[in-house]
A and B are shown apart, each in its own frame.
Chain A
Amino acid sequence: EAGVTQFPSHSVIEKGQTVTLRCDPISGHDNLYWYRRVMGKEIKFLLHFVKESKQDESGMPNNRFLAERTGGTYSTLKVQPAELEDSGVYFCASSYQAGTTEAFFGQGTRLTVV
């Protein structure tokens, strides 16, 4: 069975450009999460989807970040326009049940804004 996959694995963009990250969760997992780790800091929650609905987006840093999960399958996270402080590793995770079962992580997208 395929795990959580993220694309791209690395992205280097210039300040002001737009980047879209994609996450394909494990089939059958209704819960999808986005997390971010910036250099030297802890992994921080961004948002949580249950199927196509945003359950909690309290961790989204500002309105330059837009996450979607049309159809409740894969999810995208768009950063527009990107700023230097957006650099970091963006992880996606999925789980069968929220909070009580194991969440499986993708390998992350390493975003560098220059």
Chain B
Amino acid sequence: RKEVEQDPGPFNVPEGATVAFNCTYSNSASQSFFWYRQDCRKEPKLLMSVYSSGNEDGRFTAQLNRASQYISLLIRDSKLSDSATYLCVVNGRGNDMRFGAGTRLTVKP
């Protein structure tokens, strides 16, 4: 089983749509969770950290379910500029980060 699993997509949605990404992780001892965004041929950049209580940043909402070892990212009112690959990241056993394969999102006019 992979340490971090994501639906690879692709997700093709119209502007203004709401889209949700899911991620599961295998290490129950993980403490830190993140969503990174990666544009084509660019480096990953932090989108948001994911806290136990859930957190929101503008149009983006992240949720964590420790019991199910599940993380989600919700994007509301999608913009063309949201098109990217979204990476679920979980801190590993050595307190470093392990990545999911990423979910590709394309927002169309």
Contact = CB atoms under 8 A, between A and B. Distances in A.
A99 B91 contact: yes
Nearest to A56: B94
Residues of A in contact with B, size category:
20 to 34
B95 A42 contact: no
Interface in A18-61: 31, 33, 35, 41-45, 48, 55-56, 58
Contacts of A80: none
Contacts, number: 59
B32 A100 contact: yes
30 contacts: A31-B96, A33-B97, A35-B99, A42-B4, A42-B100, A42-B101, A43-B87, A45-B98, A45-B99, A48-B96, A55-B94, A55-B96, A56-B92, A56-B94, A91-B44, A93-B97, A98-B91, A98-B96, A99-B31, A99-B32, A99-B91, A99-B92, A99-B96, A99-B97, A102-B46, A102-B49, A103-B46, A105-B44, A107-B42, A107-B43
A109 B96 CA distance: 21
B45 interface: yes
A108 interface: yes
A41 B92 CA distance: 18
Contacts of B42: 107
Contact of A103 (B4, B31, B97, B100): B97
Given A91-B43, A108-B43, A45 B87 contact: no
A108 B43 CA distance: 7
Interface of A: 31, 33, 35, 41-45, 48, 55-56, 58, 91, 93, 98-100, 102-103, 105-108
A62 B101 CA distance: 22
Contacts of B31: 99-100
Given A31-B96, A42-B2, A48-B96, 4 more contacts: A55-B96, A100-B91, A103-B97, A105-B44
Contact of A105 (B4, B45, B94): B45
A45 B96 contact: yes
Contacts of B99: 35, 42-45
